[in-house]
Amino acid sequence: MSQSKPTPKHKFKTKLNRDGLQTPPGGFRSTTQNQQLAASEQAGEPAQPTANGANSSPAPNYPQNPELEYKQSQEQLKDQRVTRTRQQRNSTVWYKKPFVWILAGLIVIVGLILAVFLFINRPTPSASTPASPASSSVSKKAKLTTKPKLKTKQAPKKLQPDQKVQNEPNKKNDETKRHWNNPGSYDNMKYDNDDFTIQLNNSSDGVKLIPDSDQKPALYIEYTFTNKSKQPLKPQDAVGKDIQLKQNDQVLTGIGPAGDNQDAQNKINAAQKAVDPGQKADVAMMFVVANTKDQIIMSFKNLETDQFITTTQPFKL
């Protein structure tokens, strides 16, 4: 059987070039020529003559080197595959991407740090918080106690006996308050009351000026102390509480005699010793004076009113 010859795709005649490929009439045009022709056709310019002297006319673009174009097509396929793999990688699910896991890990770490910080700095319960049940119970008791307020209208009448009870201690105080037969009197160098008697020595040796411990003149007074109470008493305490000496309205203070005056020192020391009830003691007292010209006034106290009586004893120096 005779094999049928393949029919050419184009009706125009072709000839073989040096490589054995068919070339259309007029020869092959380079790619740059084809680009120039296409640009001129788009701009509406007439076709330029070719190197053979003939006007160039649009012709189909035949492959110049099939093998080269085949290789280029294969390379394009590889590029397409690479781009597809890249697109597939880029189109992976978001939770499978590594930066998502890194971000999630950072969020978890920050959350743990905040939880530890809040746990350490958590507010401690105050001491007043557990008192809420007690407050509720107190409020309940208050509610219960507020109901019988209507019955307390007669309470003032019941309070009257309490007032009497409060007044009873005052009555007891009045009953226990001491009644003085002689709270304090003075006459002729003698100060007398229900507890003791002070008899001043009116002689020249009993009231005089003598040197004190600073070798300055001081008032020295001898007296006899008689204890009329039922308990021991010290003469110096009685003098300090119930007798006062002033010079020019200034209260005089006590002082001791010079070191060589042993007799005066002994009597002053005796005034610091207790005298038994019903007993007597010869003692002395001594005071600092501001000067030796102005007189000194001795005052005596009323033990019931705790005020000085009007009768006084002046001493002229």
The predicted structure's pLDDT at residue 317: 84
**Position 64 confidence tier, pLDDT thresholds 50, 70, 90:** low
Residue 242 pLDDT exceeds 70? yes
**pLDDT, averaged across the chain:** 77
What backbone torsions phi and psi does residue 209 show, to the nearest 5 degrees?
-100, 130
Residues contacting 156, CB < 8 A, separation 6+: none
Least confident of 21-25, 74-78, 212-216: 21-25
Percentage, residues of the chain above pLDDT 90 = 44
What backbone torsions phi and psi does residue 249 show, to the nearest 5 degrees?
60, 20
CA distances from 260 to 209, 210, 256 (A): 15, 11, 11
Q: Tokens 């309490």 correspond to what residue?
A: 162
| Contact in structure between 279 and 311 (CB atoms under 8 Å) | no
Average of per-residue pLDDT across 295-300: 96
d(CA 146, CA 151): 10
What backbone torsions phi and psi does residue 88 show, to the nearest 5 degrees?
-65, -40
d(CA 233, CA 303): 15
Provide the 10 A C-beta neighbour count for residue 199. Answer: 18
Which tens digit of pLDDT belongs to each residue from 214-226? 999 999 999 999 9
The predicted structure's pLDDT at residue 1: 47
Q: Tokens 């009257």 correspond to what residue?
A: 160
The predicted structure's pLDDT at residue 140: 53
Closest CA to 296 of 257, 243, 255: 243
DSSP 85: H
**Position 90 confidence tier, pLDDT thresholds 50, 70, 90:** low
| Type of residue found at 88 | Q
- The residue ranking higher by pLDDT, 189 or 12, is 189
Q: Tokens 């084809």 correspond to what residue?
A: 34
Residue 209 burial (CB < 10 Å; 0-12/13-18/19+)? middle
User: Helix (H, G, I), strand (E, B), or coil: what is residue 218?
Assistant: strand
Percentage, residues of the chain above pLDDT 70 = 60
Torsion sign, CA atoms 241, 245, 250, 254: negative
User: Helix (H, G, I), strand (E, B), or coil: what is residue 290?
Assistant: coil
The predicted structure's pLDDT at residue 51: 47
Give the total residue count for the chain.
317
